[in-house]
């Protein structure tokens, strides 16, 4: 997989997946407003665009995986697991990442499976009237 810096999310999402992520407009604004702390990448498998990832540095060597998605035409082929595994290594080598945190919406069993498969562990659950998310962490070795 190759990670190419990006200023917007260019992939196609299913309606269900789109509900789990920020809108393309919001993502574009996040990238534009945070040039010093946000890293956004198009994910390529050989020459083909298959995904998008956005990470936010919140402390030295610590990143929040804000958005991660595989194009709807490339899902269920283990590319998400492979891309996430390679992204973690990319962040370790190129940005000295030591800890990566993320969240997923409670009930999104697919996201839970992918994150756990690459080594993320659940830390806690946020259960508030407008938010029901699971927090996870990956300690980069």
Residue with tokens 């259960």, as numbered in its chain? 127
The length of the chain is 141
Q: What is the pLDDT of residue 44?
A: 98
The HSE-up count of residue 40 (CA atoms within 13 Å, CB side) is 22
Residue 66: pLDDT over 90: yes
The structural domains of the chain, ordered by start, are 2-139 (3.40.630.30)
Query: pTM of the prediction?
Result: 0.93
What band does 128 get if pLDDT is binned at 50, 70 and 90? confident
Residue 135: pLDDT over 80: yes
Q: List pLDDT tens digits, range 80-118.
A: 999 999 999 999 999 999 999 999 988 888 899 999 999
Q: What is the mean pLDDT of the chain?
A: 94
């Amino acid at each position: 997989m190759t990670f190419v810096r990006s200023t917007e999310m260019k992939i196609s999402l299913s309606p269900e997946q789109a509900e789990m992520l920020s809108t393309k407009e919001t993502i574009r604004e996040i990238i534009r407003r945070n040039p010093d702390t946000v890293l956004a990448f198009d994910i390529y498998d050989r020459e083909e665009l298959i995904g998008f990832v956005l990470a936010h540095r919140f402390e030295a060597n610590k990143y929040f995986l804000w958005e991660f998605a595989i194009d709807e035409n490339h899902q269920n082929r283990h590319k998400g697991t492979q891309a996430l595994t390679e992204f973690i290594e990319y962040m370790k080598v190129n940005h000295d990442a030591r800890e990566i945190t993320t969240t997923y919406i409670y009930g999104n069993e697919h996201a839970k499976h992918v994150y756990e498969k690459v080594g993320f562990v659940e830390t806690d659950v946020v259960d508030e009237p407008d938010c029901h998310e699971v927090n996870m962490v990956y300690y980069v070795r």
